[in-house]
């Protein structure tokens, strides 16, 4: 039984640092290859896809060899690492997507862009033009200038903002956990996955806690808050485990995977 009240044609997919990298901080090329293949195939189906990526900081840290350095604990150090890592990350994405004959573009955003009316319209026009041309935009925060996501949540908020900006039908947040549980499944073996949420209240926020990766900055709480942003814009959100990127097929087709946050008008 499908769980969406409308066809899913425009999708924003956010991939977290823990999904893109090994525990060493180095990139998981096998998984990135699968992500590129699945998103290219979904795009070939006629759906429009935007990828919001993390991992620029983690990639930069690994390249610079400063994981245990005090400098990476500072905002300036993270910004410098992001500057190195973002260039590397885009080169890698282009290489893998090119194998599937898929054109990608880079879009770096800051909160100012989405809060200023003129720049917001400019961004919307650019996204719409890219999507109409069949391009998959790859979005990250401009971490060398802005610090919002460095401090507040590994691009979860950014992905929800982008979903609202482009009037997406669905936001998919891929992480290293199956979804939102009734407790922390790493500590409580009795914790149960919550498959469907229709009301994002204080009780739901209390369930979301902990950070899943030393190189990422987001935890489940930032994902729930991202789902709330999308929720308020009438966009459904699914939080799911990104270890097997092919689950995106099932999510888009309405299978019960992960935790589905249902926007009011989509019930």
| Tens-place pLDDT, residues 22-49 | 887 788 999 999 999 999 999 999 999 9
User: Residue 65 has what pLDDT?
Assistant: 86
Confidence of residue 94 (pLDDT cuts 50, 70, 90): very high
User: Residue 96 has what pLDDT?
Assistant: 98
The overall average pLDDT reported for the chain is 87
pTM of the entire predicted model: 0.90
In total, the chain counts a number of residues equal to 267
pLDDT tens digit sequence for 140-176: 987 666 656 544 456 899 999 999 999 999 999 999 8
pLDDT tens digit sequence for 239-258: 999 999 999 999 999 999 99
pLDDT tens digit sequence for 254-267: 999 999 999 987 76
pLDDT tens digit sequence for 210-234: 434 433 445 788 899 999 999 999 9
pLDDT tens digit sequence for 180-198: 998 878 788 888 999 999 9
What phi and psi values does residue 51 have, to the nearest 5 degrees? -105, 120
């Amino acid at each position: 039984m499908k769980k969406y009240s409308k066809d899913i044609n425009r999708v924003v997919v956010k991939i977290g640092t823990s999904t893109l990298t090994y525990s060493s901080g180095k990139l998981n090329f096998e998984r990135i290859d699968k992500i590129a293949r699945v998103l290219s195939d979904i795009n070939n189906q006629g759906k429009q896809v935007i990828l919001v990526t993390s991992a620029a900081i983690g990639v930069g840290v690994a390249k610079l060899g400063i994981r245990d350095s005090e400098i990476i604990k500072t905002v300036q150090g993270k910004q410098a690492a992001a500057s190195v890592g973002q260039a590397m990350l885009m080169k890698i994405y282009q290489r893998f997507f090119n194998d599937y004959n898929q054109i990608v573009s880079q879009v770096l955003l800051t909160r100012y862009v989405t809060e200023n009316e003129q720049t917001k319209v400019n961004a919307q026009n650019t996204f719409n033009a890219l999507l109409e041309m069949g391009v998959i935009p790859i979005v990250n925060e401009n971490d060398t200038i802005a610090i919002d996501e460095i401090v507040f949540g590994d691009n979860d908020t950014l992905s929800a903002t982008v979903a609202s900006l482009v009037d997406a039908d669905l936001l998919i947040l891929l992480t290293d956990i199956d979804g939102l549980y009734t407790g922390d499944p790493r500590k409580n073996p009795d914790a149960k996955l919550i498959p469907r949420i229709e009301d994002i209240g204080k009780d739901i926020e209390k369930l979301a806690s902990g950070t899943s990766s030393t190189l990422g900055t987001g935890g489940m709480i930032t994902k729930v808050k991202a789902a709330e942003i999308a929720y308020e814009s009438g966009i459904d959100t699914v939080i799911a485990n990104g270890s097997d990127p092919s689950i995106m097929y099932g999510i888009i087709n309405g299978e019960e995977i992960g935790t589905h946050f249902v926007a009011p008008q989509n019930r």
